[in-house]
A and B are shown apart, each in its own frame.
Chain A
Amino acid sequence: MTQLDISERRDGDRVVLAVAGPVNSYTFSEFQEKLDKAMARGEVVIEMEKVTTLSSAGIGVIMAALDDAEAAGGKLSILRPSEIARLAFESTGFMERFPVFQNLKDIP
């Protein structure tokens, strides 16, 4: 059974969270915990090219983090979403609310 794997690296002042595996209602609390910790340290990029599923619970975590970042003057970006993650974002009907980028250097 595939498990969620989240690793962290720095890119200048940014924290890049590389997420691999399923982000669903079984794993989203782990995703939320790691994202919250990273957000407390500044600008965050969520790399999602190895995400194997993304449920509404996972999208809720990202939405809450986006709101928090906006309110605190911070920043959250999504990097290279996998095909299924992109489909999940699109299926919400709010695709334009997610700051999605294909390359790290494209993030302003």
Chain B
Amino acid sequence: MTLTRPAAPPAQALPAQAGPEREAAPSENARPAYPAPERREVPRDRRAHEASARLIVDRPGIMEFEAFVDSLDFVRSTEHARLKLAGGEIFDNLIRHAAPLADDSALVRVVRRRSGRDLYLCFYFKSPTFAPYVSHCVDHEPVFDRRLRRWHGMGLRMTRNLSASLTFRAGTLCDRIFIRF
């Protein structure tokens, strides 16, 4: 996918494998909003299909994310909907909680395993604020804010209900969010 806005560097600029890990500190007596990863990223030789795009993380970028998902020809129609809804919520989360992002952008990657079963949506980005946000973010029932007329926590609930797993991994080179469908 081609970016029309100039600020974003090419996709290769961000490594797929980060360096030493640091775990997000869990809050007491609460399930973390983004649990620690249960499994490693799918090894390259076990991937059947893969597509990636570097997208500027801002409100218009959501439209570009949706266009990227629509362009994936190895994704089934039922999966398109899940990718778009769950990924859109994560993208929105990055807009609101990950600024300032390195290069104002994130690398978005969709991978299908060679087995054909599991589909992964991954976000790679570098943010000084997102890991601290996640470490203080607890999994609570969605709360509707009547003044702002929007939900707090609903995007996370929707993402969980639409996916098989959702994990966050903070890293020194980049932070990563994995959604498995």
Q: Which residues of A contact B (CB under 8 A)?
A: 1-2, 22, 24-26, 32, 52-57, 59-61, 63-64, 67, 83-84, 87-88, 90-93
Q: B117 in the interface, Cβ–Cβ < 8 Å?
A: no
Residues of chain A lying within 8 A (CB to CB) of residue B66: 2, 22, 24, 52-53
| Count of A-B contacts judged by CB separation below 8 Å | 82
- Interface majority SS (helix, strand, loop, mixed), chain B: helix
Q: Is the CB of B149 within 8 A of A93?
A: no
- Interface majority SS (helix, strand, loop, mixed), chain A: helix
The 8 A CB mask of B86-122 against A (1 = contact, 0 = none) is 0011001001000000000000000000000000000
Q: Is the CB of A84 within 8 A of B85?
A: yes
Q: Measured between C-beta atoms, what is the minimum distance from B78 to chain A in Å?
A: 8
Q: Measured between C-beta atoms, what is the minimum distance from B49 to chain A in Å?
A: 22
Residues of chain B lying within 8 A (CB to CB) of residue A63: 144, 151
Q: Is the CB of A87 within 8 A of B149?
A: no
Residues A55 and B144 in contact in the complex (CB < 8 Å), given A22-B66, A24-B66: no
A25–B60 Cα gap in the complex (Å)? 9
Q: Is the CB of B162 within 8 A of A60?
A: no
Contact with B60, one of A26, A57, A67, A91 (Cβ below 8 angstroms): A26
A95–B59 Cα gap in the complex (Å)? 27
Q: Is the CB of B88 within 8 A of A1?
A: no
Q: B157 in the interface, Cβ–Cβ < 8 Å?
A: yes
A-B residue pairs in contact (CB < 8 Å), sample of 6: A2-B66, A24-B63, A24-B66, A55-B89, A67-B146, A92-B142
Q: Measured between C-beta atoms, what is the minimum distance from B120 to chain A in Å?
A: 19
